Chain A
């Protein structure tokens, strides 16, 4: 268990303090089944009161004192506030014995505590430590990485993605090193030409012809050097940017492939936007770093070291004057980068607010127009636009002040170099400390090369931070393992459609059971209706059949075989779900119908659509089956989407069909068409239909009434109506509602 979350974020013990555990286990000879921390007192200030649930007693520990209450002598009453909450322990007469105050961080644990004290402690499927840590860390882990990679490990791991591209890395590095080296030559050669050619020629020590020959050679060499420089630049940019793209592609591919293998738990715990940004912008930032960051920084360091060496070797006094302030300048640039980072954060916020208005207004433009609110929206946009402008202006204000100041310092140093050098330039050549004009010109040219690498190094920390945090977010997903328990001997088989639930208990959080011992058996080809109030566990039953989650205890069998023994892909390909609001992907109607069975022939597609009552409306579109459906299928009506999803299910030819409120969101005429389509679809398949409108279940062989995670009643519509139970109650309510609406 990583205790850093508790030490750094939650600031509370990672487990029950040892002393308290010993009191419960040794002094009271009991076992710790569950515990929680009351972290506030009645004045809402920090507090540490531990609540421990034992097998028959409840213990309260505050400092050295502790109190004991028999579990069967107390009840609880919850009082939730906006931030501060309490759970009162009551005696049998309803008097408050204790009020336990707690903040939102402890909320999950106190909800579990309340549940345990009300429902009993029999069905706990985890240890006290697991429940405590899980309850506290869940919200953190949803946002934070579940892995424990150190920042430097992230960078190394990221660099390991370069392995397949050794050739490109080598070529890019040759480009970078070559560029650094050849960049140093022109200044050196210029100084030498001045000292060895121009000055001797002007003094008459060298004749014009020879001087011209050397001049031609010098200019040609300079030309070659610049050609070589451009070659190295081209080599570096081409190789590294292509390689960066390849690394980003590999990461994106790994990431997307891995996401497809993850369980529903993962998707429930991460925002869709977060996952999308990891696949898109995070991999893009990594590309940026791999393609340019690594090389740019290496070049900058190489250039600086090379320049410093050359300057000091040309003239150590002037060289030191030039190089000693460099670390200070780098530090100033780094600080400026940090400041700019904060400023850009604000800009980014204002920018998001601005784009949010566009994102909000455009999809809702019909409402804007029908309420004649265009002017109000324009005003809202203008305000945000102005705010964004102000933030960006502040950024420009900052950098336009900073960079001239830095260059002022650099130029100040150059002036100082001149001040130091001038007397020495004028001194006789024989005098100690004399500096030749050529050497000084070389020096000046090298000085001008000094600023760019300084700037790049100053930005390095920020670039590294951005890339490593993106890499971390990417690796976090790559390191997430699917949690579904799989039997080692998985098999692929063609199902007949027999389903059996054997005493199935299921809990999403390990404490509160959503299903409390479900038993039923469905024969192949049977149609079963599942009815019951919202939250009773109907949808959970179908999710377990699809193995989106594993049962907490008990077993689900298909054709007499444990669900865990079936290969998941094979299992899911034989179960089709028709939802109330089916999801259609971007693409054509044909793409959506053949999703899951792209080998289907066109005539099979048409046949399926006819059976689904979809063929006629599809042909009313100009592009027929090639009509593109918009985002989430928004260009189609609810009933049309529904029938496309039925056609998709027919084409997949599943053995088991789950109809999840399939006809509840459409008008009567559309419902009739869908019902016709469903009647054709259910033939020869095992069907589980969840429905609120009980009239749609009259054809069901049996109806299971689910309430509070248990099966309350089983029977045909006629049998259940005679029973005068929950089903009859629901039916009467619906009849009453129908009569009211049609009175």
Chain B
């Protein structure tokens, strides 16, 4: 399988000697993030199933990984400065791997804690944040888990 990546991270797949614009949809984005990707055309039709990234040669694997690092990117929370409850929402001030950010969650939506200890926050706009190893702010967060 041969892929190429455009400047805007659009992925193209070489099929029958022509480059097709495709999307790679992870079938198990949380439980098995590096296995089973559906290769789909711009109409959302499945063209092929990529079972494992390891079947690709190094160059193509790198391209696909680079594409996936954009597609599946979430902000990594390093520390929590403040969590405050306002009317109807919970406001978070955090430090992430991409600088300080703030986000809001609906009061009835809570951070999800996975078995490996990863905490996932989804804000009102659908932005995702995840915390694995907090440097600070454990105590502040504790009440909301």
What's the least CB distance linking B136 to chain A, in Å?
A: 17
Nearest residue (CB) in A for B72 is A82
Q: Does A88 lie within 8 Å of B102, measured CB to CB?
A: no
Q: Does B143 lie within 8 Å of A346, measured CB to CB?
A: yes
Q: Which of A44, A86, A274 contacts B8 (CB 8 A)?
A: A86
Q: Which of B8, B104, B124, B128 contacts A83 (CB 8 A)?
A: B128
How many angstroms between the C-alpha atoms of A677 and B100 in the bound complex? Answer: 63
Q: Does A82 lie within 8 Å of B128, measured CB to CB?
A: yes
Q: Does B143 lie within 8 Å of A44, measured CB to CB?
A: no
Q: Does B86 lie within 8 Å of A144, measured CB to CB?
A: yes
Those of B55-75 within 8 Å (CB) of chain A: 70-75
Q: How large is the interface on A (under 10, 10 to 19, 20 to 34, 35 or more residues)?
A: 35 or more
Chain B neighbourhood of A46, CB < 8 A? 98-99, 101
Nearest residue (CB) in A for B75 is A83
Q: Does A469 lie within 8 Å of B87, measured CB to CB?
A: yes
How many angstroms between the C-alpha atoms of A99 and B7 in the bound complex? Answer: 8
Q: Does B87 lie within 8 Å of A472, measured CB to CB?
A: yes
How many angstroms between the C-alpha atoms of A510 and B87 in the bound complex? Answer: 27
Q: Does A83 lie within 8 Å of B9, measured CB to CB?
A: no
Q: Does A343 lie within 8 Å of B104, measured CB to CB?
A: no
Q: Which of B7, B89, B128, B143 contacts A144 (CB 8 A)?
A: B89
Q: Does B127 lie within 8 Å of A104, measured CB to CB?
A: yes
What's the least CB distance linking A335 to chain B, in Å?
A: 14
Chain B neighbourhood of A83, CB < 8 A? 73-75, 127-128
Using A9-B102, A346-B143 as known contacts, say yes or no to A79 and B9 having CB atoms under 8 A apart: yes
Q: How large is the interface on B (under 10, 10 to 19, 20 to 34, 35 or more residues)?
A: 35 or more
Chain B neighbourhood of A88, CB < 8 A? 6-8, 10
Q: Does B74 lie within 8 Å of A82, measured CB to CB?
A: yes
How many angstroms between the C-alpha atoms of A572 and B89 in the bound complex? Answer: 36
- A222 located at the interface, meaning its Cβ lies under 8 Å from any Cβ of chain B in the complex: no
Q: Does B74 lie within 8 Å of A96, measured CB to CB?
A: no
Chain A neighbourhood of B40, CB < 8 A? none
Chain B neighbourhood of A274, CB < 8 A? 108
- B110 located at the interface, meaning its Cβ lies under 8 Å from any Cβ of chain A in the complex: yes
How many angstroms between the C-alpha atoms of A64 and B32 in the bound complex? Answer: 45
Chain A neighbourhood of B107, CB < 8 A? 143
Q: How many A-B residue pairs have CB under 8 A?
A: 98
Nearest residue (CB) in B for A154 is B87
Most B C-beta atoms less than 10 A away, residue of A11, A83, A273, A346: A83
Most A C-beta atoms less than 10 A away, residue of B7, B8, B10, B70: B8
Using A46-B98, A104-B126 as known contacts, say yes or no to A86 and B91 having CB atoms under 8 A apart: no
Q: Which of B101, B124, B127, B143 contacts A345 (CB 8 A)?
A: B143
Q: Does A144 lie within 8 Å of B72, measured CB to CB?
A: no
Those of A1-28 within 8 Å (CB) of chain B: 8-9, 11
Using A82-B72, A88-B10, A274-B108 as known contacts, say yes or no to A105 and B143 having CB atoms under 8 A apart: no
Chain A neighbourhood of B126, CB < 8 A? 104, 107, 139
- A103 located at the interface, meaning its Cβ lies under 8 Å from any Cβ of chain B in the complex: yes
Those of B1-56 within 8 Å (CB) of chain A: 6-10, 29
Q: Does B102 lie within 8 Å of A107, measured CB to CB?
A: no
Those of A269-291 within 8 Å (CB) of chain B: 271, 273-274
Those of A51-110 within 8 Å (CB) of chain B: 77, 79, 81-84, 86, 88, 96, 99, 103-105, 107
Q: Does A81 lie within 8 Å of B71, measured CB to CB?
A: yes
- B116 located at the interface, meaning its Cβ lies under 8 Å from any Cβ of chain A in the complex: no
Q: Does B86 lie within 8 Å of A44, measured CB to CB?
A: no
How many angstroms between the C-alpha atoms of A88 and B91 in the bound complex? Answer: 32
Nearest residue (CB) in A for B42 is A77
- B114 located at the interface, meaning its Cβ lies under 8 Å from any Cβ of chain A in the complex: no
What's the least CB distance linking B81 to chain A, in Å?
A: 13
Nearest residue (CB) in B for A89 is B8
- B106 located at the interface, meaning its Cβ lies under 8 Å from any Cβ of chain A in the complex: yes
How many angstroms between the C-alpha atoms of A44 and B98 in the bound complex? Answer: 7
- A349 located at the interface, meaning its Cβ lies under 8 Å from any Cβ of chain B in the complex: yes
Q: Map CB proximity to A onto B71-111 as digits: 1 under 8 Å, 0 otherwise.
A: 11111000000000011110100000011011010111010
Nearest residue (CB) in B for A344 is B143
Q: Does A103 lie within 8 Å of B143, measured CB to CB?
A: no
What's the least CB distance linking B51 to chain A, in Å?
A: 21
How many angstroms between the C-alpha atoms of A88 and B8 in the bound complex? Answer: 6
- A648 located at the interface, meaning its Cβ lies under 8 Å from any Cβ of chain B in the complex: no
Q: Does A139 lie within 8 Å of B127, measured CB to CB?
A: no
How many angstroms between the C-alpha atoms of A9 and B110 in the bound complex? Answer: 18
Query: Can you list 22 A-B contacts with CB-CB less than 8 angstroms, sorted by A residue number?
Result: A9-B91, A9-B104, A43-B98, A46-B99, A77-B8, A77-B10, A81-B71, A81-B72, A82-B73, A83-B73, A83-B74, A83-B127, A96-B7, A96-B8, A104-B123, A143-B106, A144-B87, A145-B88, A342-B142, A342-B143, A349-B145, A476-B88
Starting from the known contacts A82-B29, A139-B126, A472-B87, 20 additional A-B residue pairs (CB-CB under 8 Å) come to A45-B99, A81-B70, A83-B73, A83-B74, A83-B75, A84-B70, A88-B10, A96-B7, A99-B7, A104-B123, A105-B125, A107-B125, A143-B107, A144-B86, A144-B87, A273-B108, A342-B142, A342-B143, A343-B143, A476-B87
Lowest 5 CB-CB distances: which A-B pairs, in order?
Answer: A342-B143, A88-B8, A104-B127, A96-B7, A139-B124
Question: Chain B residues in contact with chain A, CB under 8 A?
Answer: 6-10, 29, 70-75, 86-89, 91, 98-99, 101-102, 104, 106-108, 110, 123-128, 142-145
